[in-house]
Structure 1
Amino acid sequence: MLLKFQKHLAENLPFLKEKKLLLALSGGLDSMVLAYLLKESGCNFTMAHCNFQLRGNESDGDEKFIRDFASQNKIELFVTRFDTESFATDNKLSIQVAARQLRYIWFYQLLEENKLDYILTAHHLDDNLETFLINLTRGTGLDGLTGILDKNNRIVRPLLNFSREEIRNFAVENKIEWREDSSNASDKYLRNKLRHDIIPMLKSLNPSFLDSFQDTLNNLQQAKSLAEDASVLVYKQVVSEKENQKHFNISELKRLANYKAYLYEWLKPFGFRAWEDIYELTEAQSGKIILSENYRLLKDREYLILEPVKEKDSGIYEIIGNEIKTPIPLKISETDQIIKASDTHRIYVDKETLKFPLHIRKWQEGDYFCPTGIDGKKKISKYFKDEKMSLSEKENTWLLISDNKIVWIIGKRSDRRFYVSNTTQQILKIEILK
């Protein structure tokens, strides 16, 4: 196995020999074998052990075992203790998820603080099979069926091509000591039930089951790569990006043979879960919204608009002096003449028509202004409708106010009641700072 491991490093993970590595060491069979293999292969690594304080004396025994191993082999070791149960309770997490979050946060801190390059974990082929079956039982897509990656950003798993049996045999042959985790014997967790009952039955049906699984995994990973390549090409035809928004053209989307699969691929990184509701959004009325924790997907006429969820700002801001930086940066200055006609970024007004201080706020139901080209007034809501503005655009529109009158729908349209005339004595230029 040592030669096979070294060949695997040389062919598939050659960069590891030149890097400073952090081995996640639990004291169990897999991580102790990986420590042995790394040492025998001349890799430059330190070790990190988490005591989650979940198994009382057994957890403390694991810590002592690892400290002794590090001392005997003169390998640098980092150890920390977590109050895992309290963290899980406070954050409403399962113990497994809490432990995972705690250890990886700490591992990444160690990388940064000690100028290390990669985290190494001892996941192996049987772990990959268990993860595959867990995802399969819960329902999943290609992501869940392609298993654990041997390299994922700064996490590397050099044992993914090795079976649990292969690792155990190597440990026995080389007299490698390890600690047994008593929780692995319990069928309380789905992973253990698969490990103890389901997988042995599958292996009895096909003695080469792990090899068949590895071949299947490779095929699925290739299929996933093809799907991702196709998704990138189609994305450019369907989606336009505007500032912090993504606009999905519904008519272009529906021309695709399986548009739901593309929507799933594009939206899954944003935390959405209600997929059937999302698929139905293409037929919904404008204004309907689907929310994830940090994003929203809005149906707006011929588009689905994806954008971050923002806290609604309903405040009123007073302009003090000539410049305001929040929430939209404006500059107000006196000028002798109109050098450039008003446009979406600047307006010229008669100072005497204004009552100070000026204010900025979002629009409200009942707001109206007096635009040029029509007699009388026009409701802001009607203006928005005529301009075919999306819900997001409406929400992000600010008004410049003088004495409860709208001077300017900022960046869009001004009110004629404040225009410069032949009798104007003082001209103010109000512009959006870029």
Structure 2
Amino acid sequence: ENNLTIQEAARILRYRYFDEVATQQKCSFVLTAHHLDDNIETVFLNLIRGTGIKGLCGIPMQNNRIVRPLLFATRKQIEQYAHENALNWREDSSNQSDKYTRNRIRHHLLPVLHEIQPDMYNVFYQNIQHISSSYRLLEELVKEKMLPLIRENENSLSISLDELKKMPQATLLLYHYIQAFGFNLTQTQQILEQNHQNGKTFTTNNYKAFIYQPYLTILKKDTPNNFKPYYVIEENTLELLEPMHLVFNTLTFNESIKIPNQPHVAFIDFARLSFPLSIRKWKKGDVFYPLGMNKRKKISDFLIDQKIPLYEKENIWVLENKGDIVWIIGYRLDNRYKITSDTKQIWCIEWKK
């Protein structure tokens, strides 16, 4: 179902179990007995499957609270220590089978390499250390190069593709930056192809990326939404902090008042409102009368006309009055609620971004 081998699925479940137990027992770290043989096998596995420099770094010494303190030692050294100190251990019977690629590397490839290079373990240990250090340096240099091209907010980041394409080795630069989100080289090459339609989407297990020229925007996939489905606004509400910061004020209309032409401010005819009002996410089928028009329009069509990127559409809220859309917050007021010569009081809303 998730395109995983049995071993990969078992590994995920095993670490998930370790994490649950560590949390229950209030442990700061989980120590595993991975050794140098495991690390060399992992490097070869990554090479066979296709890997970049990161795959040649092998198994990380630490990954969050998982720590692997024995990566310097070979399997034989650990077994010898156990025998000398009368320590018992358990071994998975599947380790003896050639059914799995890792086992075939262990049983057949590594012995041949050891014949060719008797000092194989030391050579590989030094190589892995060197490649890992070089990769960390590469990461720092990539971040430094990418920093001027990136805009970040709370839930996403956007990369200027136009500026990126002006840089030498743009494909490799982008690949080394976005592989941390799970994107591979093929996806990176596709992202930088010309003539993409806005809204083109690329996904990994945990992230999704949208192209909306000239930006590539990356955000967490299926990010849990902690917001309530709607928020109530009473007549005496002066401020709302969730799902966004809104400030409310009532003004007496006179001809000297200038109606601001700013999308984050709405001036509404107070007499048209029937409290309580509500704020909610827009949904398919919502319609309103855009300011300046006497015909109704689907909000979905309005957002397309405004060229709003897909990832932004998912976070657009509306102000609702007895089933009417009063304001697409930050975008457009409904024409039925505009200020007219008959207006006596103005209900002013400002979105404090």
TM norm structure 1: 0.64
Q: Which residue of 1 aligns with 2:202?
A: 290
Equivalent residue, structure 1, for 2:163: 252
1:127 aligns with 2:38: yes
Q: 1:280 aligns with which of 190, 193, 207?
A: 190
CA distance in 1: counterparts of 2:15 and 2:205, whole angstroms: 22
Deviations 1:328-359 (A, max 9, x none): 67676654458885444442322334577766
Higher helix fraction (1 or 2): 1
Q: Secondary structure at the match of 1:159?
A: coil
8 Å contact kept, 1:124–1:162:
yes
Helix, strand or coil for the counterpart of 1:160? coil
> Greater RCO between the two (CA within 8 Å, min separation 6)?
2
**Aligned residue number for residue 428 of structure 1:** 347
Once structures 1 and 2 are overlaid, which stretch shifts more, 421-430 or 277-286? Answer: 421-430
Bigger Cα displacement from structure 2, 382-391 vs 291-300: 382-391
Within 2, Cα distance between the matches of 1:112 and 1:123?
22
Q: 1:100 to 1:236 in 2, by over 3 A?
A: same
In structure 2, which of residues 146, 150, 158 is the aligned counterpart of residue 239 of structure 1? 150
Shift of 1:146: 0.6
Match of 1:158 among 69, 74, 84: 69
1:180 and 1:309 mapped to 2: Cα distance? 38
Deviation at residue 327 of structure 1 after TM alignment:
6.3
User: Where does structure 1 lack aligned partners over 5 or more consecutive residues?
Assistant: 1-88
What is the aligned counterpart of 1:261 among 143, 161, 172?
A: 172
Unaligned runs of 5+ in 2: none
Distance 2:151 2:315 in 1: 19
Range with bigger deviation, 315-324 or 258-267: 315-324
Secondary structure at the counterpart of residue 248 of structure 1: strand
SS in 2 for 1:304: strand
Relative to 1, partners in 2 of residues 1:271 and 1:165: Cα closer, same or farther, differing over 3 Å? same
Which letter maps to 2:169?
N
| CA 1:365–1:278: 2 relative to 1, 3 Å | farther
Alpha carbon RMSD of aligned pairs, Å?
Answer: 4.0
Partner of 1:304: 216
Post-superposition shift, 1:141?
1.8
| 1:148 paired to 2:24 | no
Which has the greater radius of gyration? Answer: 1
Aligned residues: 341
**Could you report, residue by residue, the CA deviation over 1:194-248 in whole angstroms, capped at 9, with x for unpaired residues?**
1111110111112122222122212211220121111110121221113312111
Q: Letter of the aligned partner of 1:153 in structure 2?
A: N
- Provide the residue aligned with 2:316 in structure 1: 397
Residue type at the aligned position of 1:285: Q
Q: CA deviation at 1:393?
A: 2.9
Q: Which residue of 1 aligns with 2:268?
A: 349
1:18-417 to 2 correspondence within 5 Å?
A: 94-173=5-84, 176-272=87-183, 275-282=185-192, 283=194, 284-310=196-222, 321-322=234-235, 334-336=250-252, 342=260, 343-354=262-273, 362=282, 367=287, 369-371=289-291, 384=303, 388-401=307-320, 406-417=325-336
Provide the C-alpha distance between the structure 2 equivalents of 1:94 and 1:426, rounded to a whole number of angstroms: 66
Q: What TM-score, normalized to structure 2?
A: 0.77
